[in-house]
Amino acid sequence: MTTSRSGRYARFLGAAVAIVAGLGAIGWLPTRRLAGEGAVVAMAAGCGISLLSAALAGWLLIVVPADTPEGRMQRGFLAMVVRLAVVVVLGTAAALSGELARQPLLFWIGVAYVALLPLEVKLAIL
C-alpha cells in the first residue's frame, strides 16, 4: 500500500507535535520548580525551535527526490545539515536575546532535538 507524500509528512508532523507536547507536559513542573516561571517560557521556546527544525528537515526528506541509494544518502545528509543549522541559528538568537533563561532553553532544545530524531530517521528510511 503506497501513501502520498503529503500523508507521510502529515503523520510525521502529527507525531512530532505529540512528542513535543508530551515533553512539555512531562517537563513543565520540574522545569518550573527547578528554574522558576521564566524557565517554562524558555522550555516552550526550546521545544518549538527543535520542532521547527524537525519539520523543515522532514519537509526536505519528502520534497527532494531520491531514486538511488546515493541520492537517498545525500537527501538525508542535506536534511540533517539543515536541521542542525536551523537549531544553531535560532538557538543562538534566542539565547543571546536575553529574553529567555539560557540554561533551560538550551537543555530543552537538546532534549527535543534528540526525542525527534527517530521520527526523522523513520521518515528518511521509508
What are the residue boundaries of the structural domains of the chain, listed by start?
5-125
Q: What is the pLDDT of residues 32-85, one digit of tens each?
A: 999 888 899 999 999 999 999 999 999 999 998 888 889 889 998 999 999 999
Instruction: Enumerate residues 6+ apart whose C-beta is below 8 A from 119.
Output: 12, 15, 16, 19, 54, 58
Give mean pLDDT, residues 15-33: 94
**In which band, very low, low, confident or very high, does the pLDDT at 1 lie, cut at 50, 70 and 90?**
very low
Mean pLDDT of 14-24: 96
Which 3-state string (H, E, C) describes the chain? CCCCHHHHHHHHHHHHHHHHHHHHHHHHHHHHHHHCHHHHHHHHHHHHHHHHHHHHHHHHHHHCCCCCHHHHHHHHHHHHHHHHHHHHHHHHHHHHHCCCCHHHHHHHHHHHHHHHHHHHHHHHHC
For 96-107, what is each residue's pLDDT tens digit? 998 999 999 999
Contacts 24+ apart (CB under 8 A), 24-29: 27/108, 27/111
Q: What is the pTM of this model?
A: 0.89
pLDDT at 91 > cutoff 70 = yes
Across the chain, what does the average pLDDT equal?
Answer: 92
pLDDT of residue 2 exceeding 90, the answer is: no
**Higher per-residue pLDDT: 124 or 108:** 108
Which pLDDT does position 65 carry in this prediction? Answer: 86
What would the grid cell of residue 89 be? 541559528
